[in-house]
Amino acid sequence: MTPRTPLRLTDTELRAAVLDGELLPLGGSYLPLDVPLDPRARATALAPALGDDRVIIAGRCAAWVWGWTDSSCPTLCCCVSSRQRIPSSARRALAAREVVIDLDETVRLESVAITTPLRTLLDLARHDEGDDLPRVLVSALQEAVVTRGLSAERIDEALRRRPGAAHSRRARARLERAAAEAAQPLLTR
């Protein structure tokens, strides 16, 4: 008995399988439609596009990994800690921002670094300009409160953690509106 070599499909064949409804495109990978899409599967699907373990999935991509958006994976959005720089050419190719981020603001799913749900929520509230942002924030708050035990105190503490961070006031206002819409008083003054 000889060992089987894995089946290798060309990019054209993979795209045809997507059109036929057999595969789901995820970042730089493809998954069969019957695979449950949990955060680990989504993060692992994005791994080939990152290329460096110092790159962190952030923003809209992190929201997609956490399951806060229903749409397919958005354009890759990532960052790199200002303490762990990567070559400029690699950073430019990924369009990765250099950010101030602490170790407790990232988590690893399999081998992929991603911003924590709390950091992802704050990043979206500070910087995202998508038309569906209010719905994404409501979904994020509902999921994070129920499954991750995120509290108003933790959100307030995170907002006060970096008082000079860009758009903190806008983030607070957006989160207050999302909390009111989610019918959950999450933020206090």
pLDDT averaged per 10 residues in sequence order, the chain, 189 residues: 66 89 74 78 83 89 88 79 82 84 92 93 91 88 77 85 86 88 59
pLDDT the model gives residue 63: 92
pLDDT the model gives residue 79: 92
pLDDT the model gives residue 184: 53
pLDDT the model gives residue 28: 64
pLDDT the model gives residue 72: 66
CA dist 82 and 72 (Å) reads 29
What are 171's two structure tokens?
Answer: 């983030």
Question: Phi-psi category of 92—alpha, beta or left, where left has phi over 0 and alpha has psi -120 to 50?
Answer: alpha
pLDDT the model gives residue 121: 93
Instruction: With H, G, I as helix, E, B as strand and everything else as coil, classify residue 72.
Output: coil
pLDDT the model gives residue 124: 93
pLDDT the model gives residue 182: 77
pLDDT the model gives residue 25: 76
pLDDT the model gives residue 5: 58
Helices (H), the chain: 11-19, 39-50, 59-66, 88-94, 117-127, 133-148, 152-161, 168-181
pTM: 0.80
pLDDT the model gives residue 26: 65
pLDDT the model gives residue 106: 95
pLDDT the model gives residue 126: 93
pLDDT the model gives residue 107: 95
Residue whose entry in the numeric block shows the structure tokens 């958006």: 69
